[in-house]
Chains A and B, each alone.
Chain A
């Protein structure tokens, strides 16, 4: 029987589900044409409640496995819960005025985001492959719908369909891998699998196949090369706040799953797979981004490159403490800066998302100095310039890699990060060194958007200047692995 403690271990998920369902009930009752902003604010309160629940859950007496070892509450899961929930909150806030402006003001948007967050939170705490699969599906299905939320825009429908077809294919790979892994080890529990693979003298070839399939499925979700091809098209068509959401939250959650699997099941066998994926992602992402003229596509390629940097942290997971902690820190920093950048893209998008070419950002420094300064800050963070979280995250990842003697991987990563600076810089150059195409001032920043941008700015700056608190927390996380 589940105990009361067990329910507290899924308290954030319960809160999010209840809130999401309430929104689904209210939505049909509200007369058509009535503003849904109230529902959005209600959803934001739900996200905050879930954050509070996570903080409550983080108390030491609740740490440990729940529901007969289906999931675990530990530093690791709490950390990813917070990342996902903060991204959720920022996304909801930036959507408040975006939706009516794009004439897609519907309540189920908020419900879908909250329910998607349920899946992502569950992914970070699940230690049972079947539960992981269910969580993955919950998060993916809401993302498919959200990607097509600008229904009357053809590119949004294309984005949704592409994402759905390829995504379900990838999930099938994952499921197949789970089945094979069960066949090879006789268990679906991550720890049992780890123990079987770790202790048995020779490993079944079946297990290798299973691992490869699982990696394919998750590789798709985190958009690392060579499973990245969908990213630019999907990001280009999907509504901008949704891109902010799905380029960070599901990614962080999938990385959480990947970390649990990699660390707890036979990590040496993963090494070269991850090494290759890291190098490919960094190179493909950075080279691809240089060629783009659409800001959203450019950031899509940049997100592939950043998945590559995260993979570098993984590859160094043989030094458990540093590798995992670096990956966690990087996920958080990436979430902060990328959501921030997309918040400003959302703000700039204009009706029907017309203004998303790099040219549209010409002279933004004159039209709206504050927006331009904020976007510059996020882009500098993506480049990895000091005082931003992106700098410290990159630094931490590479120092983890060098600690584990991955000299070539570091050299490739460092060279890539130099190369990558070019295309972010190009956008900064556009904003400050070109004349604006129109004299009209940029659209006014509303309260919700202002809050979303502020959250991201503060988080990025905080992670860059005073990373101590977050670092401590992430460095406490790795000790929990293998200690059941």
Chain B
């Protein structure tokens, strides 16, 4: 059978298969073992189907910017004019695959640690997967907002029901921060619709670029900010980050992995697709302060991570720092910086996802994240120590590991934009090596300070099958980044170069030309 006949439906299938699985689980009897296997099967099948996307991407890759691959555009509601319009480019392609890739590991990681209300957990996890994929493929602003808000409830419930001691506080804080920020995006979306009678991303991009939508005074700025607030909270960008450490620390392992691995990427993806895609001029005008906030986030996140006594909180703050790099790269408006930013989104998904999975391994054994409880773990758990080291090196961006590629490109982009951004941001790399290696030293080296740790079992088969693929992938992405970079670069060039056949804003165009020369 020729698989390309699937093309129009492949995205829909990938998106809604997990939701279908969740629906079926709801009707399964409460036999925890069956439900786990069923959830695993669904998530693995989804992964396999989604692999169709990158494998055949080259054949269907959009030739000019503003068009998308695997596109599907059906009328959903006639008035208001809402379409089920989905499609991906070289950027969302990898974010979809990242999502489908991480979920099976989350299922495996929750195999034993979730033992109460197993049915509810896997229903929520699979619903979350559908919503997350939907966010990355939606090309209709209404549809996008639909999926965006839909991620909120399953995640809040996963934190609130299955999390640790202060789970309720963390869940409510997470919910309120995101909810309140996103209603401003909703207002901006509706405003655009009221002016243009369309929610279609491609059409809107065209209409805004040609000036067909009348925007008096500072309207563009307000619209830009409406979107920006919603995404900045999700990223999270510096002063809006306070929900993140709570949510991460309290969430169960699978929740943290998806939160760090995918949900934060929804923010940076939005900043790229919508803030830069719809309002390139405004984005460019506002780049200085956004980059400044990103750099503050890089340094601040790293410094706060340094002093954390709690491993999970340390990794959470390191996310603030890493995501600062991504935003910096995006708003450097250079090809290198933006390529690096997109690549770094994937890296962060892999390496931080893996770090949370690693922390889950010791938490399952000791039920604590306090660093001082550990020490000398390399002796009883050598395999675990090896894996942890690999992921640590990936996270701090050692050459040959994936983090290096991303950070290098971002920093070179930042230098091109303005040297001082590059210089300050580069210090973040040093800080990240500092806190991660220090964490490693305190946890794994030296004598066993706590006798309980002496008899800890090393990673078992299930845990190894979670951790090795991620570690290997981190290495492969560091050595052969071009496998990913080709499609990313083409789409980034499209976003930077032209906006739907119309030359980009003059200021932007000049910038792009200087970079390309």
Binding site for B on A (CB under 8 A): 365-366, 369, 380, 383, 385-387, 391, 395-396, 398-399, 402-403, 407, 410-411, 414-415, 417-419, 421-422, 425-426, 429, 432-434, 467-468, 471-472, 475
Contacts of A432 in B (CB 8 A): 157, 160-161
B178 to chain A, nearest CB (A): 10
CB distance B161 to A365 under 8 Å?
yes
B438 CB–A CB distance under 8 Å: no
User: Which one of B79, B145, B183 lies within 8 Å of A414 (CB-CB)?
Assistant: B183
Give Cα A471–Cα B78 distance, bound, in whole angstroms.
Answer: 9
B186 CB–A CB distance under 8 Å: yes
B373 to chain A, nearest CB (A): 26
Contact with A along B166-201 (1 / 0, CB 8 A): 011001100110011001101100110110000000
User: Which one of B150, B175, B190 lies within 8 Å of A425 (CB-CB)?
Assistant: B175
CB distance B161 to A380 under 8 Å?
no
Binding site for A on B (CB under 8 A): 76-80, 117, 120, 142, 145-147, 149-150, 152-153, 157, 160-161, 167-168, 171-172, 175-176, 179-180, 183-184, 186-187, 190-191, 193-194
Give Cα A346–Cα B157 distance, bound, in whole angstroms.
Answer: 25
For B146, B150, B171, B194, the residue with the greatest tally of chain A CB atoms inside 10 Å of its CB is: B194
- What are some 11 contacts across the A-B interface (CB < 8 A)? A380-B153, A385-B152, A385-B153, A386-B150, A411-B187, A414-B186, A414-B187, A418-B183, A426-B172, A432-B157, A471-B79
A139 to chain B, nearest CB (A): 32
User: Which one of A369, A411, A468, A472 lies within 8 Å of B120 (CB-CB)?
Assistant: A369
Known interface pairs A385-B153, A386-B146, A418-B176; 19 further A-B residue pairs with C-beta atoms within 8 A, sorted by A's residue number: A365-B117, A365-B161, A386-B145, A387-B150, A391-B146, A391-B149, A395-B190, A396-B80, A398-B186, A399-B190, A410-B187, A415-B183, A417-B183, A421-B176, A429-B160, A432-B157, A434-B168, A471-B79, A472-B78
Give Cα A432–Cα B78 distance, bound, in whole angstroms.
Answer: 38
Q: Ordered nearest first, which 9 A-B pairs have the shortest CB separation? A: A418-B180, A402-B194, A386-B146, A418-B183, A433-B160, A403-B194, A399-B190, A414-B183, A433-B168
User: Which one of B76, B179, B193, B194 lies within 8 Å of A421 (CB-CB)?
Assistant: B179
Give Cα A429–Cα B175 distance, bound, in whole angstroms.
Answer: 11
CB distance B161 to A399 under 8 Å?
no
Contacts of A398 in B (CB 8 A): 186-187, 190
Give Cα A433–Cα B173 distance, bound, in whole angstroms.
Answer: 14
Give Cα A417–Cα B160 distance, bound, in whole angstroms.
Answer: 22
Give Cα A391–Cα B147 distance, bound, in whole angstroms.
Answer: 12
Contacts of A385 in B (CB 8 A): 149-150, 152-153
User: Which one of B77, B147, B172, B190 lies within 8 Å of A468 (CB-CB)?
Assistant: B77
Residue of B at shortest CB range from A467?
A: B77
Give Cα A472–Cα B176 distance, bound, in whole angstroms.
Answer: 34
Give Cα A366–Cα B176 distance, bound, in whole angstroms.
Answer: 24
Contacts of B120 in A (CB 8 A): 365, 369
For B80, B120, B142, B176, the residue with the greatest tally of chain A CB atoms inside 10 Å of its CB is: B80
Contacts of B194 in A (CB 8 A): 399, 402-403
Give Cα A383–Cα B190 distance, bound, in whole angstroms.
Answer: 18
B177 to chain A, nearest CB (A): 10
CB distance B146 to A387 under 8 Å?
yes
Contacts of B187 in A (CB 8 A): 398, 402, 410-411, 414
CB distance B160 to A414 under 8 Å?
no
CB distance B77 to A395 under 8 Å?
no
CB distance B172 to A425 under 8 Å?
yes
CB distance B160 to A402 under 8 Å?
no
Residue of B at shortest CB range from A410?
A: B187
User: Which one of B77, B79, B145, B179 lies within 8 Å of A418 (CB-CB)?
Assistant: B179
Give Cα A395–Cα B183 distance, bound, in whole angstroms.
Answer: 10
Give Cα A387–Cα B168 distance, bound, in whole angstroms.
Answer: 24
Contacts of B145 in A (CB 8 A): 386
Contacts of B176 in A (CB 8 A): 418, 421-422, 425
Given contacts A418-B180, A433-B168, A467-B77, contact A395 B149 (CB under 8 A): no
Give Cα A433–Cα B175 distance, bound, in whole angstroms.
Answer: 14
Contacts of B152 in A (CB 8 A): 385
Give Cα A197–Cα B424 distance, bound, in whole angstroms.
Answer: 69
Given contacts A369-B120, A386-B145, A386-B149, contact A429 B186 (CB under 8 A): no
CB distance A429 to B171 under 8 Å?
yes
B333 to chain A, nearest CB (A): 30
Residue of B at shortest CB range from A419?
A: B180
CB distance A399 to B80 under 8 Å?
yes
Contacts of B175 in A (CB 8 A): 421, 425
A471 to chain B, nearest CB (A): 6
Contacts of A403 in B (CB 8 A): 194
CB distance A471 to B77 under 8 Å?
yes
For A383, A386, A468, the residue with the greatest tally of chain B CB atoms inside 10 Å of its CB is: A386
Contacts of A471 in B (CB 8 A): 77-79
Given contacts A385-B152, A433-B171, contact A475 B79 (CB under 8 A): yes
Residue of A at shortest CB range from B185?
A: A414
Residue of B at shortest CB range from A430?
A: B168
CB distance B190 to A410 under 8 Å?
yes
B154 to chain A, nearest CB (A): 11
Given contacts A385-B150, A398-B186, contact A429 B172 (CB under 8 A): yes
Give Cα A56–Cα B175 distance, bound, in whole angstroms.
Answer: 46
Contacts of B160 in A (CB 8 A): 429, 432-433
Contacts of B191 in A (CB 8 A): 402, 407
For B176, B184, B190, the residue with the greatest tally of chain A CB atoms inside 10 Å of its CB is: B190
For B76, B172, B187, the residue with the greatest tally of chain A CB atoms inside 10 Å of its CB is: B187
Give Cα A432–Cα B124 distance, bound, in whole angstroms.
Answer: 13
Contacts of A467 in B (CB 8 A): 77
Residue of A at shortest CB range from B197?
A: A403
Give Cα A383–Cα B176 distance, bound, in whole angstroms.
Answer: 12
User: Which one of B142, B168, B179, B183 lies within 8 Å of A429 (CB-CB)?
Assistant: B168
Give Cα A475–Cα B79 distance, bound, in whole angstroms.
Answer: 9
Contacts of B179 in A (CB 8 A): 383, 418, 421
Give Cα A417–Cα B149 distance, bound, in whole angstroms.
Answer: 14
Contacts of A410 in B (CB 8 A): 187, 190
Contacts of B153 in A (CB 8 A): 380, 385
B115 to chain A, nearest CB (A): 14
Contacts of B171 in A (CB 8 A): 429, 433
Contacts of B157 in A (CB 8 A): 432
A210 to chain B, nearest CB (A): 34
B107 to chain A, nearest CB (A): 21
